Chains A and B, each alone.
Chain A
Amino acid sequence: MPILALDQVSKSFGALKVADRISFALEKGEALGVIGPNGAGKSTLFNLITGNIRVDAGTIRFAGEDVTRQPPMARCLAGVGRTFQIPQPFEKLTVFENLLVAGAFGSRKTEKEVGDRCADILVETGLYPKANQPAGSLGLLQRKRLELARALATEPKILLLDEIAGGLTEGECQELVETIRAIHRRGVSIIWVEHVLHALNSVVSRLVVLHFGRVIGDGDPQTIMASRDVREIYLGIDV
């Protein structure tokens, strides 16, 4: 049984179709990359999966259960974790408190029970030295790491990464990729929307291509990157 399955999911904002009969499934433990030009509906796809936007039609199943009508809070508890393209930490809370809130409420445990885990995640994501600083004082790389750390604190079964490598230097990007690979090795399924293709392709084993809200390609990265449609639409190369 796939961990996540979208079936004919559609969403329009007025006349603009941002998701047009999207169907794909993610197997447990799989790492899937999503690419597409700006405005292709990648972030919308995440909002539909987390429940921040309701679908107009179609169904979303998570671990076999229909979550199409469930609010974001319920999907978080079921195991959907998400990072934002523009990091949205709770700025007035400290870094550690950001994780505590996510850990305690995201898994319905007490802060005592999640405290050690949260500290481990801070170490893993390299934020431990910043633990007691207000999250609002962090720089971009650390904010991106905090997005990842906070999503991990909710004990996700599937992690939705939204352009987490964007805006980082090559070295920073490499470190982040290592962290994500380690998370993936622990069995967390991943969907990663990314423009930094070499980072993406060093983690994922499958790519989905979105264009104007439609899936125009789904398969292994080499085949997808070699396909004529993708090269024309996404890379803007005349073939």
Chain B
Amino acid sequence: MSWLDTILQGILLGGLYALFAAGLALVFGIMRLVNLAHGDLIVLAAFLILLLVSALGLNPFIAAAVALPVMFALGWALQFLVLNRTLGNDILPPLLVTFGLSVVIQNGLLEGFSADSRRISAGALETASLQIGPISIGTMPLLTFLSAVGVIVALNLVFYRTSLGRAFRATSDDSATAGLMGIRAERIFATATGLAMMVVTIAALYLGTRANFDPTMGPARLIYAFEAVIIGGLGSFWGTLAGGIIIGVAQTVGAAINPEWQILAGHIAFLLVLLVRPRGLFPRAVD
């Protein structure tokens, strides 16, 4: 039974990684922009939620709801004012600029919040669990996973059922031609990054309530997010969820064998998938 339990915990952990990855996948999918500051933006959002919780005494879920529009606006402005200028045929400028942004966010957070690790308190929810037969499932991990599924369902609905989603896909296909159809690509990109930052905020809520965080932990989250997106094959949001689950399960299984192997096992699973399916599990048809 303990193996079943381990795998289940891994799947639920995968939900968190899928949340880290979904925003990255959204931005990369639409504008081929690799945002190296993605992990730091998650940590930034976690500090924002922490600030709202400690300063205003809000419940973390309410605080996250307050942070959502703030992060959307931040993402919109970041894309419109900074990142749009880096997009072009050369792939280096966006990498350099987002890498610089990552350094700035980390150091800004260190200045503002010190290097201490923090945690967002979720009260009794932190230790609550559901007992299903012989297996006990933590309420927070379950909520994390359900949120990840919810986010992915929502992103798919936006992408395939709305006018905005069609504009996303059209701009991603050919931004010059999209301009001739009256689409303002700069604004579409800004909206996409704003949406990604809302996903980041949801990821930050669970990052901050499940474990300790500090200003320097962004880059490691970026790696997990990257691996999940690449395992998924860049083609679909469901693929990203699958990628998150594979890393999550590998990590918990690795940790069950030997606690030192947790992180390594995740990376090894990533490399194995790349060996077998170099383009990921659900690759795009054409790219």
Q: Is B181 positioned at the interface, with any CB of A under 8 Å from its CB?
A: yes
> Are B286 and A91 in contact, CB atoms less than 8 angstroms apart?
yes
Q: Contacts A100-B166, A101-B166, A105-B167 known; A88 to B174 CB distance under 8 Å?
A: yes
> Are B169 and A92 in contact, CB atoms less than 8 angstroms apart?
yes
Chain B minimum-CB-distance residue to A108 = B182
> Are B181 and A105 in contact, CB atoms less than 8 angstroms apart?
yes
Chain B minimum-CB-distance residue to A135 = B173
A residues 136-187 in Cβ contact with B at 8 Å? 136, 150, 154
> Are B163 and A104 in contact, CB atoms less than 8 angstroms apart?
yes
Q: Is B114 positioned at the interface, with any CB of A under 8 Å from its CB?
A: no
Residues of B within 8 A of A104 (CB): 163, 166
Convert B161-195 into 0s and 1s, putting 1 for each residue whose CB lies closer than 8 angstroms to a CB of A: 00100110110111011111111100000000000
> Are B182 and A154 in contact, CB atoms less than 8 angstroms apart?
yes
> Are B167 and A101 in contact, CB atoms less than 8 angstroms apart?
yes
- Give the size category of B's interface with A: 10 to 19
> Are A82 and B180 in contact, CB atoms less than 8 angstroms apart?
yes
Residues of B within 8 A of A12 (CB): none
Instruction: For the complex, give the distance between the alpha carbons of A37 and B174 in Å.
Output: 29
> Are A102 and B179 in contact, CB atoms less than 8 angstroms apart?
no
A residues 84-119 in Cβ contact with B at 8 Å? 84, 88, 90-93, 97-98, 100-102, 104-108, 110-111
Residues of B within 8 A of A77 (CB): 182
Instruction: For the complex, give the distance between the alpha carbons of A91 and B167 in Å.
Output: 13
B residues 244-287 in Cβ contact with A at 8 Å? 285-286
Of A68-76, A124-132, A224-232, which binds chain B?
Answer: A68-76
Q: Contacts A90-B170, A90-B177 known; A76 to B286 CB distance under 8 Å?
A: no
Instruction: For the complex, give the distance between the alpha carbons of A82 and B178 in Å.
Output: 12
Instruction: For the complex, give the distance between the alpha carbons of A106 and B286 in Å.
Output: 27
Give the shortest distance, in Å, between A91 (CB) and chain B (any CB). 6
Instruction: For the complex, give the distance between the alpha carbons of A107 and B183 in Å.
Output: 10
Give the shortest distance, in Å, between B185 (CB) and chain A (any CB). 8
Chain A minimum-CB-distance residue to B160 = A97
Residues of B within 8 A of A154 (CB): 181-182
Q: Is A43 positioned at the interface, with any CB of B under 8 Å from its CB?
A: no
Chain B minimum-CB-distance residue to A72 = B179
A-B contact pairs, 30 of them (CB 8 A): A52-B176, A72-B179, A73-B180, A73-B182, A73-B183, A76-B179, A82-B180, A90-B173, A90-B174, A90-B178, A91-B173, A91-B286, A92-B172, A92-B173, A92-B286, A93-B169, A97-B166, A101-B163, A101-B170, A101-B181, A102-B182, A104-B163, A105-B178, A105-B181, A105-B183, A106-B181, A110-B163, A111-B163, A136-B286, A150-B181
Top 7 nearest A-B pairs by Cβ distance? A106-B182, A102-B181, A105-B182, A76-B182, A90-B173, A72-B179, A90-B170
